[in-house]
Copies of this chain bind each other. A is one copy, B any other.
Amino acid sequence: MSSNSFGKLFKLTSFGESHGLAIGGIIDGCPANIELNFNKIQEELNNRRPGQSKITTSRNEADKVEFLSGIFEGKTLGTPIGFIIKNKDQKSKDYGNLKEVYRPSHADYTYQHKYGIRDFRGGGRQSARETACRVVAGAIAKQVISSFNITINAFTSQIGNIKIQSNLNEYDRKDIYKSIVRCPDNTTETKMIEAIEMVKQKGDSLGGIVSCQIKNMPVGIGEPVFEKLQAQLAQAMLTINAVKGFDYGLGFEGVSKKGSEYNDEFKAIDDEIITTTNNSGGIQGGISNGSTINLRVLFKPTSTISKQQETVNSKGENVLLKAAGRHDPCVVPRAVPIVEAMAAMVILDYLLIRFGYAKFQQAN
């Protein structure tokens, strides 16, 4: 089934296996005549790329994006934007031993069973390497929506049992990205890094939570009933590798609240209608209400660990596995720009439906 596309009007279709010649994608439905800042696109890729810090995998990929179409003299043409990112540091030999073994909690077994064939090198298509393409599309989406003044900031709010405590609304984007763990709170950040380094030493891994805030949303974005804004955001996030959960507003932590505590009362101040609280997370009935959309994305601990595990090979024999390949002890820090990218694509899609292409294409 064709299942490698995301979006309705602004649509990314991606391709590529982890250790093939290249990964890449086509961004279809981008408004025309928009000047792109290519440095900013590459910067987002750099925020996701492997090998960027001591707490990420040592696989080293420049993740340099090459655009092949859809852009002319620095501006979008309105035609599909084709791009590729070549795979350089392939070291397939690291993965040769995985040809015959199903790694626990990876998709080796399900891919093999479904397709009768798989590219076992580094996980092939199941690898999170594919998400680099989302970052490209998301970076472009962000530039397109910048005229609406909407900002999208994600950050690491929990690693293992270490949780950011302070008021989430006060952080600056700069503080997020200067932290290698993408946590804007200094004290928490230090503890998170220590925790990651500790599991790394032991050949183990950690999971955590990425929080994301979408600010300055216009009222009226989202489409009831089956395309509610939160449903598209949930789907978007659950397509990211290793994601196991999603919530927004008060989320699971508000489960024991009563209605009278939960409801966001309205207040008219001057000519504006606002809510005095934001327990709803910026969405009502699937439609943005103008408050900040805040959501959380749960990542499981990296499945690839160096510790010895019991598993099965393709002949159906019980074997022991000790993974040798390079891997992240915690995927959360590198997932932060991916969460932002997915959110940006969702938001742009709905803006296009509401306002039409003509609004985005200033020249006509």
Contacts and interface: CB of A to CB of B under 8 A. Distances in A.
A78 B110 contact: no
A281 interface: yes
Contacts of A130: 225
A356 interface: yes
Interface in A244-294: 244-252, 254-260, 262-268, 271, 273, 275-276, 279-281, 284-289
Given A114-B219, A244-B249, A254-B300, A105 B10 contact: no
Given A2-B7, A230-B238, A285-B126, A252 B262 contact: no
A124 to B, nearest CB: 7
Nearest to A112: B364
B126 A224 contact: yes
Interface in A94-124: 102, 104-107, 109-111, 113-119, 124
A13 interface: yes
Interface in A280-335: 280-281, 284-289, 298, 300-305, 307, 309-312, 316-318
A109 to B, nearest CB: 7
Contacts of A14: 26, 80, 225
B84 A364 contact: no
Interface residues of A, number: 152
Interface in A216-258: 219-220, 222-228, 230-239, 243-252, 254-258
27 contacts: A1-B357, A5-B13, A13-B80, A15-B70, A15-B81, A15-B82, A72-B118, A77-B124, A79-B224, A104-B275, A105-B263, A110-B220, A113-B287, A116-B362, A160-B255, A160-B256, A199-B258, A204-B259, A207-B255, A244-B249, A245-B248, A259-B302, A262-B303, A263-B309, A266-B311, A267-B312, A268-B312
Given A125-B225, A273-B316, 9 more contacts: A5-B11, A5-B226, A105-B280, A106-B285, A114-B364, A126-B285, A246-B246, A262-B303, A263-B305
